Structure 1
Amino acid sequence: MSSPPLTVFFCSDSHRYAMAVMNHHVCPVENWSYNESCSADSAKHGYPKSCCTLEDVPLISKCGTYPPESCLFSLIGNVGAFMVLVICFLRYGQLIEQSHSSWVNTTALITGCTNAAGLVVVGNFQVDYAKSLHYIGAGVAFPAGLLFVCLQCVLSYHVAISVLDFWMAHLRVFLTTVALISLVLSGIFFIHESFLLQHLAAICEWVFVIDILIFYGTFTYEFGAVSNDTMVAALQHSNSRGCKSPGSSSTSTHLNCNPESIAMI
C-alpha cells in the first residue's frame, strides 16, 4: 500500500530538483566549485550557475523557492502530510487489532500527526518569503519524523514473531540510524557560513528525506493485510484482537471474524 506513494514522492522530489537546476535557481549537487569570483550580473537570479554562491546551495527548501518548482513543493508538502496521517492511523489501528495498544503506539501516532503538521507548514511557506514560519515547520517536522521512526522500531521488535519480522525490525533500525546521523550532520553543517559545509548540509538533507521515504515504504510488509476494520479500530481506540489467517505471523493479521466479533469494534 505504501510503495506507490513512496515512488510518487521520490519522483516528485527528483523532478523538483531537476526543475530548480534547469531554471538556474540552484546549483547542481555535483558542483562543488563554489567561489566568490562571479561578476555582479552572473550572480543574479535566473542566470546560469557557472559559479555558485551560498544563495545557490541545493537545499531542499531552496529547490522549492521559486515557481514553477515552488508549486510542486507545496503540493508535495500537502499530499505528503495527508499520506503520513493515513500511514500513522493505519499502523496505529493495526497494532490495536493485534491487541498491542500501549503508550508507545499512542505516542507514535501523536508524533506522526505532528510530523504531518510540520510538513504542511514547510510546504506552504517558502524559505525566502516566510523564513521564520518555514524554519518553525522544519523544526517540527524533522524531529517529529525522526521520533516517529524510532518508536516504530521499538514497536516492530515488540510485535515481531517470525524471523522475517525480526529482519524487518533490523532494517528499520538501520534506516533510523542513517536518518539520525544525516539529520544531526545536516544541522551541524547548516549553521556554518562555509560553501563546503553548506553543500554537505544539502546532501545530508536529501539523504534524510529519501531515507525516511524508504522507511515508510517498509510498512508495505504489514499493510498487505489491512482490512476495512483497521481504520475503525484506530478511530474508536478499540482493543479488539484481530483474527489470524492460517499460517500467518502476527504482522500479517487481519479481521476475518464472525459478525459478533466485528460488532464488538
Structure 2
Amino acid sequence: MAIQNLHFIPVALFIIIPMTFIGTYIVAVWEGHVEPYVPYISDVGTKTPESCVFGQIINMCAVLLSVSVYIRYCHIYQYCLEHTFSPKVQSLNNAGVYAGLISCFGLSLVANFQETNVFVVHVIGAFMCFGVGTVYFWIQAVCSYHMQPVANTIGVARLRAVIAVICSVVFVIMASCGVTAHLQFHGSDPRKWYPKDGGWVFHVISSVSEWIMALCFCTFILSFSHEFRDVILLHPQLQLCRDHLLIQDDNDQAPIS
C-alpha cells in the first residue's frame, strides 16, 4: 500500500501550529493568565486549561514534524541515488535528519515541561527546538542549492537560505535579550510583565523575536510541500525469523515424557 498526498503534512503544520499559538494566547488573555502585551509563546501555554490543549496539539505536531524530517531525508537520499550531486549532499543529509529529530524532540519538551514547573528542561527544549532547528534549516538550504534545478528551483533554495539567515539573527536576539530581560526583571510574575518591572524593552524584543522564529519555522516546513507532491511513501517490509519459528514449532510438537 502506497501513501500519497504527503504534501498535506507541511500544509497542515503551517495551519495548525500558528492557530494553536493564537488560540492559546486568546484563552490565556481571557483567563487573565498573561497580559496581552506580546507574551512569550511559552507563557500562553503555561496554565490550565490552555496548557492542556497546547501540550496535546504541539505533541501531535512534533510527531508530524518528525515524519516530515524523515520524508525529507528519504527524498534527498533517493535523489542522490538517481543523480550525481556533490558528495557533501549525502553527508549533510545524514546530519540533517539527526538535527531535525532533535529539534522535534525539543518542541515536545517545550510543550510538556512548562516553564513554571520545570524551568531548566523547558529552556533546554527551547534551545533544542529553535537552535538545533536553525542548524537543520541551514543544512536543508545548502542541500537545496546543490540539488537545484533537478529537485527544486533556485528560488526555493534562496528562500530557504533567507529563512535560515533570519532564524540565525532572530535566535541570537531572542536569547540575548531574553537573558538580559530576566536579569533586569524585579516584578512578581514574569507571565504578567509590566514596564515598571524592569527589562521591559528587552522582554518585548525577545518575545517578538520568538514569534517571528515560530512563523519562520512554519514557513520553512511549508516550503517542503511542493517537493512532497512527487513523493510516495511505501509501507516498510517486515521479515519473519523463520529459524526461530521452526524451533518453536518443533518444541510445541515434542512429546511430553
> Normalised by the shorter chain, which TM-score bucket?
0.7 to 0.9
1:103 to 91, 106, 111: 91
Q: Per-residue CA shift, 1:42-79, capped at 9, x if unaligned?
A: xxxxxxxxxxxxxxxx1111111111111122123311
Moved over 4 A (4+): none
Report the more deviating stretch, 74-83 or 200-209.
Answer: 74-83
Q: For 2:232 and 2:165, how far apart are their aligned partners in 1?
A: 31
Letter in 2 for 1:80: C
Matched residue, 1:191: 179
Q: For 1:208 and 1:29, how far apart are their aligned partners in 2?
A: 18
Say how many residue pairs are matched: 205
1:77-96 equivalence runs, <5 A: 77-96=58-77
Secondary structure, aligned partner of 2:106: helix
Q: Does 1:64 align with 2:58?
A: no
Q: For 1:165 and 1:183, how far apart are their aligned partners in 2?
A: 27
Secondary structure, aligned partner of 2:167: helix
Letter in 2 for 1:8: I
Matched residue, 2:149: 161
Instruction: Give 5+ residue unaligned stretches, structure 2.
Output: 1-6, 82-88, 185-198, 238-257
- Check whether the contact 1:29–1:203 (CA below 8 A) recurs between aligned residues: no
1:118-137 equivalence runs, <5 A: 118-137=106-125
Matched residue, 2:193: none
- Check whether the contact 2:79–2:151 (CA below 8 A) recurs between aligned residues: no
User: Whose Rg is larger?
Assistant: 2
Deviation at 1:163, TM superposition (A): 11
Letter in 1 for 2:51: S
Q: Per-residue CA shift, 1:174-226, capped at 9, x if unaligned?
A: 11111111111111111122011111111100100111111000001210111
Letter in 2 for 1:120: S
Instruction: Give 5+ residue unaligned stretches, structure 1.
Output: 31-57, 234-265
Higher relative contact order (CA 8 A, sep 6+): 2
Secondary structure, aligned partner of 1:110: helix
- Check whether the contact 2:96–2:136 (CA below 8 A) recurs between aligned residues: yes
Matched residue, 2:13: 5
TM-score, length basis structure 2: 0.75
**Per the alignment, do residues 161 and 75 of structure 1 end up closer, same or farther by CA in structure 2, a change over 3 Å counting?**
same
Letter in 2 for 1:113: L
Secondary structure, aligned partner of 1:225: coil
Q: Does 1:201 align with 2:206?
A: yes
Deviation at 1:121, TM superposition (A): 1.2
Q: For 2:121 and 2:150, how far apart are their aligned partners in 1?
A: 45
Query: Larger % of helix: which?
Result: 2
Matched residue, 1:178: 166
**Per the alignment, do residues 142 and 163 of structure 1 end up closer, same or farther by CA in structure 2, a change over 3 Å counting?**
closer
Deviation at 1:126, TM superposition (A): 0.5
Across the aligned residues of Structure 1 and Structure 2, the Cα RMSD in angstroms comes to: 1.9
Secondary structure, aligned partner of 1:191: helix
Matched residue, 1:138: 126
TM-score, length basis structure 1: 0.73
- Check whether the contact 2:17–2:58 (CA below 8 A) recurs between aligned residues: no
Secondary structure, aligned partner of 1:98: helix
Matched residue, 2:31: 23
